[in-house]
Amino acid sequence: MNAPLDAAQDALATARRQAEVVSALRQVVPEHCVMYREEEVRPYECDGLSLFRELPMVVVLPETESQVQAILRLCKRLQVPVVARGAGTGLSGGAMPHAGGVLLGMAKFNQIRRLDARTCTAVVQPGVRNLAISEAAAPYNLYYAPDPSSQIACSIGGNVAENSGGVHCLKYGLTVHNVLRVRMVTMDGEIAELGSEALDAPGLDLLAVFIGSEGMLGVVTEVTVKLVPKPALAQVIMASFDHVETAADAVAGIIAAGIIPAGLEMMDQRATAIVEPFVHAGYDLSAAAILLCESDGTPETVAAEIARMTDVFERSGATRIQVSTSEAERLRFWAGRKNAFPAAGRASPDYYCMDGTIPRRQVGRVLLAIQEMEVRYDMRCANVFHAGDGNLHPLILFDANDPDSVRRAEDFGAEILELCVQVGGTVTGEHGVGIEKINQMCVQFTREELDAFHAVKHAFDPAGLLNPNKVIPTLARCAEYGRMHVHAGELRFPELPRF
Amino acid sequence: MDSLLSDLRARVILAQASGKPLSIHGGGTKDFLGMKGAGTALDMSQYAGVVSYEPTELVVTARAGTPLVELEAMLAENGQMLAFEPPHFGPGATIGGCVATGLSGPRRAAAGSARDFVLGVKLLDAHGRMLKFGGEVMKNVAGYDVSRILTGSLGMLGVMLEVSVKVLPRPERELTLRYAMLEAAAIERLAAWAAQPLPITASSWVSTQDGGELRIRLSGSPSAVESGRARLGGDAVPASEADAWWQSLREQTLPFFAARPLWRVSVPPVTPPLALGDTIIEWNGGQRWISTTQPAEAVRSAAAALGGHATLFRPESIAEARRVGVFHPLDPVVEGIHRRLKSEFDPQGIFNPGRMYSYL
């Protein structure tokens, strides 16, 4: 038993390794771009999901593309894992560092290279904030459509990694529908351009598989995005319902009427109760569910569409319907939904934001099941729901200082995700798998499907050094997790023997 | 269907064991595209039928052999459509071929491409195993987007069994407007309109004796179409003539499309006239059909210099296609990724080898 000696030898080996990597990095980037002291690297130990933290061995903040190439080449040579980071706002731990690796911060890549109102495109560096693109395009009456709630802070490179959506993605699409080209560096340090400024590119659609690949296939150094014309007018309806199922029927009614709203969001009673004192939007606190339904276009189009939407809500049994009468009022109606997460921070020491997608018609059933889980886990869960596309964000309120509360929150979250798969949905609609949902991937996919994902990874990054141990679980991990693969749409029968 | 599936599986396993390639086809309507090989035919046309259709979920799932005409008729009955308006190129077109070729029609510039609407695919892999990627929901980022990369893959990564596609409501009203205009002016006009919130869902420019004619299609609610018309002027085309026009463009039945070779040049929309030969322009300038006697290298380097690429869509002869290649050559790093993807998914090279590039 030589534990102290082993520990000392490990520490020495780690220190030597760190010195080797730092020294190599200093050959290719200026000294101020490389950090390794604990107090310097601690700010990078987690992203928006602070439940998962890891100190990186080194943090590098490159300033040019050729520096990125050199960094990746030397990491390949020295077999050092690399985790890229944009703004660090991600909610699944995708940018959580690797303890033996480099954390590659792309925040210095913050320039808008070109904004062309004639072609309705913008060429931007990956560290540019999502909202900054729309702000720059505003003088031309153009904007960048995908609007995740974190858009004031999140980076476009991160949006590419997660295929981010937002309230308006039902009508305007996800990141994959709004990006024309991604320029990236491979783990070999080579440049690849995926997509193009034309409407398509030759060969397989590598751009489509790259978007949403959570930093595992390459490091983005430039993005060409599509800009869309700002509609003349937008108006939002706020409708109250006394049952979740009635609200869900109203959502189906909107789609059945052939309407594609600009935004269609649902908040349950707990969510409304949490946000109303925070934003004073005038939400109906007695409603079991509130729908926010937006129309945009010309004044005539909006008037006609709002009338049709109101008609659907009335026929569905809405107990109260309000239509915004000004832009300020429209923003106020939305303020609660957009601030749901920070408002939750007021109501509880901590909150755990879940992300799953279900077929819209299952929302009533899933929300009832969550209410039942609240009792079992003895925790509150507020729900906001992208009703238009079935993407659900349960917000589990817990206390991070209480280990029992943390454990219950994680189990509650896992059970919700597995329920999403059971009813025919997916474990993640927009936040990504990262590290957080990697176990649930064992539930959503078969071994062969996971092998196919490993095959995609292998085609782009044969060395497996980009963001390793994220998203796609290994066979060993699934065996450890012990959950059976659940066929989508089939109910679990816990009373049947497993083997 | 179960026995059909077993049969398909058996055929794949046999091909894997013998190393004898398969040539996957539905109705054969897109046989002209790419270099169709001499593999043993794997006929998907019997593996047909709608698996599920939920209008209020905006999704339809169908087996690969389902005829496109049947699928579109069913959607139309429910006031819905495939918004990327795919070409059929023949009565036997199937949804599998539609997704495998990834071709989009006139509505693409406004609504999105085939791959923008693919939500999920069930695939028979090189070992005869059934894999499910994506699903029936739009917001799905679990794992890599394999169903989108299968779109347009010309069958080279596996056999598509089922596809789930997002559908959208049909527009309440449509109106086509026409303008006498030269090519350069038409491209500029389309660019100016694209930067404004107008309900334009299709565009075309063709040369005429007087120089040229631009046509645009407005779609949406009656008020949207009317206010669009008021802003845009032009002459209205009678409805039946308009429908016939967009269909003849989509299906390439206009006399222009009989030209051989017929090139498809994809460039950034606001690219000035290419001056390569007689042309029809679509997608706000993003898709240009060219009839030219210029050599392939000239067409390709012209397209590349403008940030685009050129496809020998309908070659003069198979020999010519083999000589110059159908699709635009890939950049070396991108080619490397392609080769590795192919070898991972199809190690024996049994799925449509050589259909897209000789080495895939």
Quote the number of domains for chain B.
2
Blockwise average pLDDT, block size 10, chain A, 499 residues = 83 94 97 96 94 95 98 98 96 94 98 97 98 98 93 95 92 96 98 98 98 97 97 96 93 92 94 87 91 94 96 97 95 82 77 86 89 95 89 91 92 92 86 88 90 96 96 84 51 36
Amino acid letter, residue B204: S
Per-residue confidence band for B49, with pLDDT thresholds at 50, 70 and 90: very high
Residue ranges of A 342-371 with Cβ closer than 8 A to chain B: 357-361
- Asked whether residue B19 is domain-assigned, the answer is yes
Domains A233-342 and A348-481 share a fold: yes
Sign of CA dihedral B152, A181, B82, B261: negative
Amino acid letter, residue B337: I
Integer Cα distance of B301 and B296 in angstroms: 8
- Asked whether residue B355 is domain-assigned, the answer is no
- Asked whether residue B152 is domain-assigned, the answer is yes
Interface probe for B, chosen from A167, A185, A193, A204 (most Cβ of B below 10 Å), is A204
In this complex, the residue of B140, B145, B328 whose CB is nearest that of residue A208 is: B145
Q: Are residues B154 and B24 in the same domain?
A: yes
- Condensed to tens digits (0 to 9), the pLDDT of residues B276-330 reads 999 999 999 999 999 999 999 999 999 999 999 999 999 999 999 999 999 999 9
Does the domain at A26-105 match CATH 3.30.43.10? Answer given as yes
Q: How many CA atoms lie within 13 A of A351 on its CB side?
A: 22
Q: Are residues B144 and B221 in the same domain?
A: no
CB contacts, 8 Å: A259 with chain B = 169
Q: Are residues B183 and B229 in the same domain?
A: yes
pLDDT at B64 over 70: yes
- What single DSSP character describes residue B67? B
Q: Are residues B121 and B27 in the same domain?
A: yes
Residue B29's domain is classified under what CATH number?
3.30.465.10
The chain A residue lying nearest B266, using CA atoms, is A198
Task: Please state which of the four CATH numbers 3.30.300.30, 3.30.70.100, 3.30.465.10, 3.20.20.70 is assigned to the domain occupying A113-229.
Answer: 3.30.465.10
> Within an 8 Å CB–CB cutoff, is residue B196 touching chain A?
yes
- Condensed to tens digits (0 to 9), the pLDDT of residues B192-217 reads 999 999 999 999 999 999 999 999 99
CB contacts, 8 Å: B145 with chain A = 163, 176, 208-209, 211-213
pLDDT at B261 over 80: yes
Q: Are residues B191 and B116 in the same domain?
A: no
Grouping H, G, I as helix, E, B as strand and the rest as coil, residue A6 is: helix
Do residue B341 and residue A459 have CB atoms under 8 angstroms apart? yes
> Within an 8 Å CB–CB cutoff, is residue B51 touching chain A?
no
pLDDT at site A424: 87
Q: How many CB pairs under 8 A join A and B?
A: 253
Domain that holds residue B79: 2-170+341-345
Residue ranges of B 88-107 with Cβ closer than 8 A to chain A: 102
- Residue pointed to by tokens 């308009």: B242
Question: Other C-beta atoms within 10 Å of B219: how many?
Answer: 21
- Asked whether residue B223 is domain-assigned, the answer is yes
Residue ranges of A 179-208 with Cβ closer than 8 A to chain B: 186, 190-194, 196-206, 208
- Asked whether residue B350 is domain-assigned, the answer is no
Whether the predicted interface score ipTM is above 0.90: yes
CB contacts, 8 Å: A256 with chain B = 55-56
Q: Are residues B161 and B291 in the same domain?
A: no
- Condensed to tens digits (0 to 9), the pLDDT of residues B7-18 reads 999 999 999 999
Let me know: does A74 contact A65? Beta carbons within 8 Å.
Answer: no
Q: Are residues B22 and B75 in the same domain?
A: yes
Burial of A321 (0-12, 13-18, 19+ CB in 10 A): middle
Q: How many CA atoms lie within 13 A of B150 on its CB side?
A: 35
Q: Are residues B11 and B156 in the same domain?
A: yes
Residue ranges of A 424-483 with Cβ closer than 8 A to chain B: 424-433, 437, 441, 444-446, 448-450, 452-453, 455-460, 462, 471-472
Query: Can you read off the two tokens belonging to residue B138?
Result: 């739009």
Do residue B131 and residue A453 have CB atoms under 8 angstroms apart? no
The chain B residue lying nearest A308, using CA atoms, is B221
pLDDT at site B74: 98
Domains of chain A by residue range: 26-105, 113-229, 233-342, 348-481
Do residue B144 and residue A357 have CB atoms under 8 angstroms apart? no
In this complex, the residue of B116, B224, B330 whose CB is nearest that of residue A203 is: B330
pLDDT at site A201: 98
Q: How far is A38 from chain B (nearest CA, A)?
A: 33
Amino acid letter, residue A124: V
Do residue A199 and residue B57 have CB atoms under 8 angstroms apart? no
Q: Are residues B254 and B232 in the same domain?
A: yes
Q: Are residues B48 and B109 in the same domain?
A: yes
Query: Can you read off the two tokens belonging to residue B323?
Result: 């000589």
Q: How far is A214 from chain B (nearest CA, A)?
A: 9
**Closest among B253, B351, B289 to B23, alpha carbons compared:** B351
pLDDT at site A499: 27
Do residue B56 and residue A194 have CB atoms under 8 angstroms apart? no
Residue ranges of A 44-103 with Cβ closer than 8 A to chain B: none
pLDDT at site A483: 52
Do residue A359 and residue B57 have CB atoms under 8 angstroms apart? yes
Let me know: does A351 contact A397? Beta carbons within 8 Å.
Answer: yes
Question: Other C-beta atoms within 10 Å of A110: how many?
Answer: 15
pLDDT at site A493: 43
The CATH number of the structural domain formed by A348-481 is: 3.30.70.2740
Q: How far is A5 from chain B (nearest CA, A)?
A: 42
Residue ranges of A 96-135 with Cβ closer than 8 A to chain B: 117-121
> Within an 8 Å CB–CB cutoff, is residue B268 touching chain A?
yes
Strands (E), A324-477: 350-353, 356-357, 381-386, 391-398
Per-residue confidence band for B230, with pLDDT thresholds at 50, 70 and 90: very high
- List alpha helices for chain B, DSSP H: 2-18, 68-77, 95-101, 108-111, 114-117, 146-150, 183-194, 222-232, 239-250, 296-305, 318-324, 332-345
Q: Are residues B112 and B236 in the same domain?
A: no
Do residue A209 and residue B144 have CB atoms under 8 angstroms apart? yes
- Asked whether residue B332 is domain-assigned, the answer is no
Q: How far is A13 from chain B (nearest CA, A)?
A: 35
Residues 6 or more apart whose CB falls under 8 angstroms from that of A393 comprise A340, A353, A354, A355, A383, A384, A385, A386
- Asked whether residue B331 is domain-assigned, the answer is no
- Asked whether residue B181 is domain-assigned, the answer is yes
Length of chain B counted residue by residue:
360
CB contacts, 8 Å: A433 with chain B = 141-143
Q: Determine the topology of domain A233-342 in CATH.
A: Alpha-Beta Plaits (3.30.70)
Q: Are residues B82 and B125 in the same domain?
A: yes
pLDDT at B348 over 90: yes
> Within an 8 Å CB–CB cutoff, is residue B132 touching chain A?
yes
